[in-house]
Amino acid sequence: MRKKVVRRRTTVVRKPKKKASVFSTKLLRFSLVAFFVVLLIGTVYHYRNGLAYYFSFKSDKALKEKAEAKRISDVRNFQVLENHEGKSIGLDVSEYQGIIRWSYVDTLEKKYPLDYVFIRATVGKDRKDRQFKRNWLGAKENKMIRGAYHYYRPNENSLEQAELFIKTVTLQKGDLPPILDIEKLPKNQSLDSLKVGLKRWLKAVESHYKVKPIIYTGEKYYDDFLKDEFSDYLFWIANYNFYREKMDSDWLFWQFTEKASVPGIKGNVDINIYNGDLQQLQFITVE
């Protein structure tokens, strides 16, 4: 008789997983919290003057105005302006600002005088800014130094664009040189062709007004496409980045924000800093 073989089940004993060290977890959390606290304190300290101004720690009058909403961009604006104390401040406008009450356009943040204004005159080869004539006269009556700029369309004939600007803008003694605004890359032509067109516009306008134009563009566009080949021109550079608080020495103007509030203008306005004081600004105007 065969013996019945009884197979015993083998019990697999699983070793318990090692639990993460409670101490390590707490240390990691503490380190993260400490890092963000230090970062916050550092940011607050860096912008202490701007925060003090906008969160009403400077005067009793400011405390009463506490209800006015202030954005973080305003804090940066104040910091930038403070860093450039003594520099000449101005704005730039177009039809997008609507009807401007020029007699009210005087100071920024009730502290910084607005000395000059750039006014859009033309766009491409066939479009005049709808508010140019009104703004051009209004700025003059408000005794502001004024400058006219052309928004360049890369895919349109450069000489036709120059002709439109010349027909539209009459510069007088005390006005700023004409300005070429280039922001976009071409769709239907090479970069070399774009540069040829820009040079044609600049030369045609210089020939007419007998003064070298200024070029407006973004900082990256300037660095990548214009800085070397157009080095004999003066530049008005746009950069709104939060980390950027000072202008480079080779910039003539710096458009540092598009979110400022100015008396007499509804909505946001672009603000610019000239790399010099008012007397030096007057030195570069048309004679």
Residue numbers annotated as active site: 92, 183
Which two structure tokens, joined as six digits, stand for 50? 């701007």
Helix (H, G, I), strand (E, B) or coil at 172: coil
Mode of pairing for the β-strands spanning 145-151 and 112-123: parallel
Choose among 156, 255, 245: nearest CA to 215: 255
Type of residue found at 273: I
Answer whether 52's CB lies under 8 Å from 81's CB. Answer: no
Q: 109 — alpha (psi -120 to 50), left (phi > 0) or beta? A: left
Which two structure tokens, joined as six digits, stand for 188? 């239907």
Answer whether 215's CB lies under 8 Å from 179's CB. Answer: yes
Helix (H, G, I), strand (E, B) or coil at 209: helix
How long a stretch of residues is the chain?
Answer: 287
Q: What is the DSSP letter of 188?
A: S
Bridge-partner residues for 132, per DSSP? Answer: none
Answer whether 255's CB lies under 8 Å from 272's CB. Answer: yes
- CA dist 247 and 252 (Å) reads 9
Phi then psi dihedrals of residue 159, to 5 deg: -70, -35
Which two structure tokens, joined as six digits, stand for 126? 């066939």
CA atoms within 13 A on the CB side of 57: 7
Q: Alpha carbon of 259 to those of 75, 96, 255, 267, 272: distances in Å?
A: 11, 14, 11, 8, 11
